[in-house]
Structure formats: C-alpha cells, structure tokens
C-alpha cells in the first residue's frame, strides 16, 4: 500500500518581520500626527499661555490705568478700541507694537507711542495731523494733512483761514504749490483759493477777487513776476480782476473795463 504524501508545513513569509516593523512605524506616525493635530486644534498652547497670563494678572500685573496724552480730535473710545485691551486684563498679554499700528490707521493720528508701564499702566502718546488746506471735491470739503492726504470732512466753521484747493488732482500737486508760495509769505497770505486746471496748471484767487493764471512750465519765474506786480501800486488796484502769467514774454492785466499787456 502506497504511502500518503506528507502535507507541507505552512511557513511564515520571509518578509513578515519587515511587514510588522512597517506596520508599527505607520501606527506610531499616525498616533503622533493625530496627537499633534489634537494638541493644536484644541489650542492647548493658547490655553497654557492664557493660564500663565491669568496667573500674572492675579499676581498684580494687570491693566488698571490707560493713560492717553496728545489727543485732540480722536475720541478716547476710538483709541481704546484700537488698543484692544481692557482694565483688569493681563498687562503682559498686551502687544504695544501691534496696538501702535492699529492707532496709525485712525484718520487723525499722525504718530503714536505705546508703552507698557508695569505693573498696571498702558501709556499712549498721540500726535495728530495739522490740516494745511481744504480740498473742495464733489460738493464736499476735506481737510488735508501735510502730505496732501485727506484726513476727514471739514465741519462748518472749522479752519476757515486755510487755503481752499479745487480740482480732482489738486491734492497731488498741493505741496509743490505751497513750497512755491512760501518764497514770499506776504503774497502767500493773500491767496485764498487755488484751482487745478486741466490737470496741468494752477489758477490762484487773491483777496477773494483777483484771478491769477499761472503757466504749466516755469512756474517759479511766473511767481516772481506776480510778486513784482503786486508790489507795484501803480499796476494793481481795486479794479483789477485778472493777472495772466501764462505767456513767457508778457503779462496781461484785466481791470473792470480795460485790458493791458506789458513785458515782465
């Protein structure tokens, strides 16, 4: 009787140890990744930091005073809102640099200094813009700072002595005009308005009645001619309504009923 063939014993695959190692590594990586995700999703660092800050506040390092200096037109509530800190909160959790940047976004604030003064005071030093002109645009009046930028709308009765400029591009050229006029403060004081014409040149209004037409080019030369004309009592009188300086070789003067031309 023939012998039955023996069954071959099952053997583990030769690479089974490597498979187990890889599975274990995958499990470790997955577990660590999941823990890190949970750690930050639950804002554990933030909670720990806040707990530490609360502990410092309980120890006396908390905001009790907010000292504001230099404020004029910026409301106290607007400043405090920009600071994003309230009395009783941990002073060490306050970021002066970020607070300063938020303050500089307020329309009237030109410069700001923000400090933590331990144990309990936040100090804010404010420098506000000084308006240098009024811009009339689309039936509204805007106050301009020394960079020709709009600060806010002008309220009735405010800053009535400021120069009024008119024209869509007028603020862009304001600083150059003011530098030109500063060459003769006496004449500058007589200029009540300036109109930016055709996006290329200025018309000035003197004493609220005399129109001065400046050229596109060689404006400084034309300004010197204007100063000389105004200093001559025989050339400008109560009947003068226009002084045209646009032509380089002549000055045109218009009175109520006559027009005269002469060399500059």
Q: Please, which pLDDT band fits residue 3 given cuts at 50, 70 and 90? A: low
Residue 253 has pLDDT above 70, yes or no: yes
Average pLDDT, the chain: 83
Q: Please, which pLDDT band fits residue 21 given cuts at 50, 70 and 90? A: low
Tell me: do 137 and 120 sit in the same domain.
no
Tell me: do 187 and 124 sit in the same domain.
no
Question: For residue range 55-69, what is the model confidence (pLDDT) as tens digits?
Answer: 554 454 677 889 999
**pLDDT average, residue stretch 65-81:** 94
Residue 235 has pLDDT above 60, yes or no: yes
Its domain, for residue 101, covers 45-128
**pLDDT average, residue stretch 36-48:** 47
Which tokens is 46 given?
A: 């933030």
**What sections of 90-157 are H helices per DSSP?**
96-103
Count how many domains the chain has.
2
pLDDT score, position 38: 43
The helices-and-strands tally (H runs, E runs) of the chain is: 7, 13
Tell me: do 255 and 193 sit in the same domain.
yes
Residue pair 106/147 in contact (Cβ under 8 Å)? The answer is no
pLDDT score, position 63: 78
Tell me: do 250 and 169 sit in the same domain.
yes
Residue 66, φ and ψ in degrees, nearest 5? -120, 105
pLDDT score, position 4: 53
Residue pair 197/167 in contact (Cβ under 8 Å)? The answer is yes
Residue 35 has pLDDT above 50, yes or no: no
Tell me: do 238 and 169 sit in the same domain.
yes
Residue 144: how many CB atoms within 10 A of its CB?
Answer: 23
What's the CATH number where 156 sits?
A: 3.40.50.11690
Q: Is the peptide bond before 51 cis (omega within 30 degrees of 0)?
A: no
Tell me: do 73 and 149 sit in the same domain.
no
Q: Please, which pLDDT band fits residue 36 given cuts at 50, 70 and 90? A: very low
Q: Give a yes or no: residue 237 inside a domain.
A: yes
Q: Give a yes or no: residue 3 inside a domain.
A: no
pTM confidence score: 0.72
3-class DSSP assignment, residue 200 = coil
Q: 261: which strand partners?
A: 252
3-class DSSP assignment, residue 230 = helix
Q: How far is CA 189 from CA 158, 174, 180, in A?
A: 18, 16, 13
Tell me: do 62 and 142 sit in the same domain.
no
């Amino acid at each position: 009787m023939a012998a039955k063939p023996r069954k071959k014993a099952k053997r583990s695959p030769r690479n089974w140890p490597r498979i187990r190692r890889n599975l274990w590594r995958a499990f470790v990586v997955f577990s660590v990744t999941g823990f890190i995700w949970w750690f930050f999703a639950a804002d554990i660092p933030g909670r720990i930091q806040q707990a530490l800050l609360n502990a410092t506040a309980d120890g006396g390092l908390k905001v009790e005073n907010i000292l504001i200096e230099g404020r004029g037109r910026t409301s106290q509530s607007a400043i405090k809102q920009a600071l994003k800190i309230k009395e009783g909160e941990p002073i060490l959790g306050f970021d002066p640099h970020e607070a300063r940047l938020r303050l500089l976004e307020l329309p009237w604030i030109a410069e700001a200094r923000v400090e933590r003064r331990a144990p309990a005071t936040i100090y804010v030093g404010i420098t506000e813009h000084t308006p240098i002109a009024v811009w009339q645009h689309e039936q509204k009046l805007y106050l301009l700072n020394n960079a020709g930028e709009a600060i806010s709308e002008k309220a009735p009765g405010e800053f009535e002595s400021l120069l009024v400029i008119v024209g869509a591009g007028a603020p862009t050229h304001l600083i150059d005009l003011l530098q030109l006029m500063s060459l003769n403060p006496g004449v500058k004081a007589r200029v009540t308005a300036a109109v930016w014409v055709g996006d290329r040149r200025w018309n000035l209004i003197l004493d609220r009645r005399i129109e001065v037409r400046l050229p596109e080019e060689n404006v400084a030369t034309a300004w010197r001619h204007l100063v000389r004309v105004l200093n001559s009592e025989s050339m400008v009188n109560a009947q003068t309504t226009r002084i045209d300086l646009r032509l380089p070789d002549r000055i045109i003067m218009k009175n109520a009923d006559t027009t005269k031309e002469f060399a500059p």
